[in-house]
Amino acid sequence: MALLRVINRLFQPRYLLVTNIGSCAVLMGLGDAAVQGVEKVTGTSTQPYDWERTARLAATGLMLGPFNHYWYSMLDRVLPSVTVLTVGKKILADQTVAAPCFAITFFMGTGILEGQSVKSSWNEFTDKFWAVYKADWALWPAAQAINFTFIPGQFRVVYVCGVTLCWNTFLSYYKHKDKLQKKALNAKEPH
């Protein structure tokens, strides 16, 4: 009962921004942890668990949390009804505005936190954006249809962060797969 009171309080307007930021950070980190676990199990990586990598992705979640909070609040204010047309408009806005903003923040923010130059991070973003954006269209319109139709406004960001756990697993894999392949090739070369 006490836990439910705490959870209920966290989703009140007074604490919602902090709750949304924290949710994004935790779930971004969990997405990376899932990828690193899969890398270990499949033998894709022989490296020890990279806590700094997980922390960098969680930090990226801290950057994305405020954007998500204000973005969904604004969408609900501007398009408040739950009709097929309104839900369609929200999905279109989300896919054409929020998805590219999320992608650029993910690749630039995570790249810079990994020690890449701004130019290198930008190049990675431009190299990987279209593949990520196409995958985004495969997942997010359906997820957002559920969100905008059935999820109450104060729970939107947490719902999105829950779906994002799966999405972040994909993003973390896609961002780091080139490095893993390079490490695997170097490990196979005779010294």
User: Of 129 and 14, which is predicted with more confidence?
Assistant: 129
Tokens at 122, concatenated: 């930008």
Q: Residue 21 to residues 76, 106, 170, 189: CA-CA distances in angstroms?
A: 18, 15, 21, 44
pLDDT at 15 over 70: yes
pTM: 0.78
Residue 2 CA to residue 139 CA, distance in Å, equals 35
Q: Please name the helix (run of DSSP H) or strand (run of DSSP E) that holds residue 73, with its range, or none.
A: helix 51-78
Residue 191 confidence (pLDDT) above 60? no
- Looking at residue 189, its pLDDT comes to 62
Other C-beta atoms closer than 10 Å to the C-beta of 105 total 15
Bigger pLDDT: 35 or 74? 74
Q: Which 3 state secondary structure label does DSSP give 94?
A: helix
Share of the chain above pLDDT 90, in %: 53
Mean pLDDT value of segment 173-178: 78
Mean pLDDT across 40-58: 89
Write the CB contacts of 31 (distance below 8 Å, at least 6 apart in sequence).
57, 164, 165, 166, 167, 168, 169, 171, 172
Domain ranges across the chain = 2-188
Q: What is the pLDDT of residues 74-113, one digit of tens each?
A: 999 999 988 999 999 999 999 999 999 999 998 999 899 9
The single-letter code of the amino acid at 50 is: D
Give the single-character DSSP code of 49.
P
